[in-house]
Chain A
């Protein structure tokens, strides 16, 4: 890894669906060890930004660099090497419904390593125990709750000890307690793995409790409003919308 570069650099990124621009002029950096939140209201393009960052949607303009390497300008082999270093969890868990939990977690290990079946099984058991799902190896996704889906998705995402972990709305659909437990789990695992984390979310308790860096997106201006540590922005952001968002007040309330 080249230490001279931040882990992720987003440079003047412009995203669109057809002719409809979702966000533009996005520039920010994610440093090694950050728990970085992409924050904004519903429909502002948080998930679209994540999809642009992980190569699921091509940006209209701008660049995304990982350790100084541009993802979109790289050849497919380099892109594949980068993907191998990432773990991604999706909003719904995105578990393959025709596979057991163990088979779901084993899939990336089989894809990228030459481990024996015994080693893969042991590794799967270990990853499931990390997320508190030990003993559920033979369960199918349909037999599990929403919270278990999220944790199983996390187990699959950390299967290859990723350097960079992406989460799309990890707390969506979870009760506050489960959400807090998942936050703690993310912090514990990422600290232990030494991973950098990028989380798309608008869950304030999560953002303020575990976030170390963030970028705020705006629906109206279609660009970023502010960036930095969310706890700092809560008190010192020069942007009213950001402060209102973090304090859960409307502009109307603050005026009164």
Chain B
């Protein structure tokens, strides 16, 4: 390979650049040095001449383009007739279309205020969309209960299988461990008073009223909510949602309702299952602290009643609806590219967890006021 170079010759009516060497991508290409030219008395023509160009690729064209831009800015004609024929062709193609000039950024002066305002506006918009979606879902539910909805039973059964049996493994593991964690947490204080038997009360009340529903909700938000958003988002990308709409079918009836109904039907059962598993986890820890199995079971029986279970079950029904809404809404409002599906999935999980925590706090305040 011969190092690429050029020789400058200033003639009466033109500047000539005589190019030599191999102008390839693995060579160091000389920059078009504008300082060499006296622009104040520039001749009207810049000629590029193939003196002894060997191999060449786009790197030669980069140099030619630099010359082209300089000539254009100084109203000088660029002559490439004495270059390899393909250079002229490529230059013609590259300069055939006028470059697009984006509009200047109109928000630059008050950018922070603009972004802050946009953020607040976006938050209100999200809340409004949530209310609209929930309202639309309620209307669809009424249509479904009247028996007029275009919702397929087979879809509901399919999603019940996805939400319930297939999530049992992870719920078993998490619930058992949460029960054990609660037991260890209580035992630290209760042991000092010799009251470790009350670990059973702590775990039983904690799991039935609070942690059973909440932990199941968090698991399903990450597992099912994300899956719903990804499924519907991909359908949006593949134009399946458009196809459903143009067939005069309701996406709410056909896509959203079966998913949310499956969640609402299965989540209370998973919540009870989680509470029972949590109590079992607590029992495993308690038996290691001089509490017998029978003592633990008797204490558990005495500490909770149906109302405690109902507190958790009612919460779980609302949690299920919120997870479903977050997942389906994010999926249906997904963009058209692969990046958008990832964004929709993240949005679904984050929103579902935020909804869960807010709803949980609201329920606890409500239960307290009602004296339950």
Contacts and interface: CB of A to CB of B under 8 A. Distances in A.
Contact of A136 (B58, B62, B100): B100
Interface stretch (B86-94, B186-194, B301-309): B86-94
Given A97-B339, A135-B102, A194 B93 contact: no
Interface string B307-322: 0000000000000000
28 contacts: A97-B337, A97-B338, A97-B339, A98-B339, A113-B25, A113-B26, A119-B62, A122-B62, A122-B66, A123-B58, A125-B65, A126-B61, A126-B62, A126-B94, A127-B58, A129-B94, A129-B97, A132-B96, A132-B97, A133-B100, A138-B102, A142-B335, A160-B25, A161-B25, A161-B57, A185-B93, A189-B93, A192-B86
A132 B96 CA distance: 7
A141 interface: yes
Interface of B: 25-26, 29, 57-59, 61-62, 65-66, 86, 89-90, 93-97, 99-102, 335-340
Nearest to B90: A192
A256 B370 CA distance: 86
Interface string A105-146: 000000001110001001101110110111110100110000
A130 B29 contact: no
Given A135-B99, A161-B25, A188 B62 contact: no
A150 to B, nearest CB: 15
A174 interface: no
Contacts of B66: 122
A191 interface: yes
A132 B338 CA distance: 25
A102 B231 CA distance: 31
Interface in A186-214: 188-189, 191-194
A142 B93 contact: no
B200 to A, nearest CB: 52
B95 A129 contact: yes
Contact of A161 (B58, B94, B100, B337): B58
Contacts of A141: 337
B80 to A, nearest CB: 12
A174 B58 CA distance: 29
A123 B29 CA distance: 12
Contacts of B101: 135
B336 A191 contact: no
A190 to B, nearest CB: 11
Interface residues of A, number: 30
Given A119-B62, A142-B336, A192-B90, 19 more contacts: A97-B339, A98-B339, A122-B66, A126-B62, A129-B97, A134-B94, A134-B97, A134-B99, A135-B102, A142-B335, A142-B337, A142-B339, A142-B340, A161-B57, A188-B93, A189-B90, A191-B89, A192-B86, A192-B93
Contacts of B100: 133-136
Lowest 8 A-B CB distances belong to which pairs?
A135-B100, A134-B99, A132-B97, A97-B339, A135-B99, A97-B337, A129-B94, A161-B57
B99 A193 contact: no
Contacts of A191: 86, 89
Given A98-B339, A135-B100, A142-B335, A122 B93 contact: no
A130 B94 contact: yes
Given A141-B337, A191-B86, A123 B93 contact: no
Contacts of A132: 96-97
Nearest to A98: B339
A123 B62 contact: yes
B23 to A, nearest CB: 11
Contact of B89 (A115, A134, A142, A192): A192
Contacts of A113: 25-26
A142 to B, nearest CB: 5
Contact of B65 (A126, A133, A185, A188): A126
A101 B65 CA distance: 20
A192 B60 CA distance: 13
A143 to B, nearest CB: 10
Contacts of A125: 65
Contacts of B95: 129
Nearest to A185: B93
A83 B100 CA distance: 32
A188 B102 contact: no
B113 to A, nearest CB: 24
Nearest to B84: A192
A129 B58 contact: no
A123 B99 CA distance: 15
Contacts of A119: 29, 62
B88 to A, nearest CB: 9
